[in-house]
Structure 1
Amino acid sequence: MKQEKLPGALRRPNEYSSIGFIWLSAPIVILSISLLTSYAAEKTFDDAQDPRQLIQAMSESLRSLSYEGTFVTVSGSTVDTLKIIQINNGVAFNQQLVSLNGESREVFRNNELVTCIWPNSQSVITMKARERKSETGYDFKLNNNYEYKLLSDDRVAGRQTFVVEVTANDRERYSYRVWIDKETKLLLKSMSLEAGGLPVEQVMFTDIRFDHDITIDNVTDKLERLEYQVQNYVEPASVSYLTEKKVRFDLLPKGYRKISEMNHHMPTIAEPVRHIFLSDGIASISIYVQFGYKASEIIPVGYAKLGSITAYERRTDTDLITVMGDVPAQTVRAVAYSVNIEN
């Protein structure tokens, strides 16, 4: 699979705001996708040495802490370096991500809005921020697909860490190894592993600080100074044609379930695109369905891959289905062919 030969939806990001935003922003968004973005409820843990509880504490710290740091992502021969600033005072949430090598990119996120800036093309995309929430919080029943083991302590970015190995019980998901800061429970390093144990992708902080004087750029002031063209994506109004369509699944890979379903408006498409989010509690999969799709060009179906994110595109006679997630190739393909669209 070659990264440059992307499926149609991924090669036309202006027509697919959610897919295009993810792909064009990568590896910026890989921090939130690859670093085990499981769904955690706020809890107090009695035994910090229990690997499952460490994973749950780590998930909460990703959302609740304020910090500033630099991290690298390594996938094959590709290495990217990014800066992250996150401020969370319990009410307001602000985050800034900046690419430090390759194409210049910045992503700002707060409680209401996500803004992605590409200085090279002088373009800006904004969209409403969505908070992913589990109906039940972190569900250990979902995670019967993994085995958890606490390994020997280690150091990352000069800080002492717990090391937890999360081993998948089948080939429908990756295994992981994570390094969790002992003091704050923040995830400082993660490694996604194929079934044979080879690394798919690594993400690691090289430096990090938790000072109280952390500041973040004001995105509104920045956009006024830059005078870039801003493209806003807004939520669609209720569309009767779309609500009549139902997306069913004949047989999902073991352990995955639907977390949410919503419609996304795409600026060059008359009808919104359906987005369905699946998870097994650790791995996540997004399905985008464009109903009544009429291709203006011959678009190859098949795989695309970037780091641990794999995508697969499938066409029916009337619809275009794109599946992407931090899972192996056979899993996104199985999900794509399990989709059954009913009127």
Structure 2
Amino acid sequence: MSAAIPRRAPAPPGRVRASGGVGGHVGAPHHYRSRRPTLLVYHTDRRYAELVDVPKRGVDVRIAATPSEAAGAIADAEILFAWKFPPQLYARAGRLAWLQVMGAGVDWALVPELPPSVVITRAPGVFGPWMAEYVIGWCSWVTQRVEEYRQAQRQRRWLDHVLPDRLAGKTMAIVGLGDIGRDIARVARGLGMRVLGVSRRGRPVREAARMYKVGGMARAMAQADFVVLLLPLTTETRGIVGADQLGAMKPTAWLVNIARGAVVNEAALLDVLEHRRIAGAVLDVFDNEPLPPHHPLWRMDNVVVTPHISGPSTPDAIAPVFNDNLSRFLAGRPLRHVVDRRQGY
């Protein structure tokens, strides 16, 4: 990154100062400061642009919903508010100083085409409640034996000899216990579950009975009835959940992946599912999305496939995060939720 701007000296309007997790502060191009900054909002949902809180005489807002529309607008943009912006267009982004991602995951933004001078910020803190409901809902689907009762209903059988189980007393291992993981852990603990956590440093957190470093992932997974994956996708985490980790799981355990599909070795996952070495998996994310129609995961009766909806980004949730940073950007104050490119999140 570029040379740091001393914190004691306020940055002039338009300079990007990174707060939290990044040692350097990146400045906007000098030719920007004599005019109104341009913001490009890139998304098919126009609500993102409508909810931008633009100060009077503060920002010129442009909207693009397709790559062709973005190609004509990115050249003038100092600010980009986007989801999955086409990387080939960064070559035209000569003025770009700041990219605000419409989500918590930033793997799509960490591409060589994006100049290193561009500060990336993400939107954490808004997905935890959504994802906690998703995880607990599907864990309850397992313990309440919903699929068995639904099948019995279709067959008009009164299945009173098959009793449901409870989440209380079960163990959940959360691999990648960050902000979202702690939200999930709090709900799980409230239902009487024991929570184990895995993180890079393995530092103790209040929400987990015990923490493990990444090297101890298999030990945590071996104790769990439900393993929840929440790892960010980085060069270090790609394929990190492999045969050894999956093989350590109980034959009665379920895997819930709400991270990224590529953190799991797909061949190893297919193997344990096909041979029923684990009870099953609830998968919301995949290495290739949409999941191809011919993919074997579609036909497995011990797999639940959902279309990457466990933590939906909505304009009403994301816009306030952007608006807070926009006011900081215009005032020359440090931005929040800055991504450390070296760590990948």
* TM value normalised by structure 2: 0.22
**Structure (1 or 2) with the greater strand fraction:** 1
**Structure (1 or 2) with the greater helix fraction:** 2
* Largest Rg, 1 or 2: 2
* TM value normalised by structure 1: 0.22
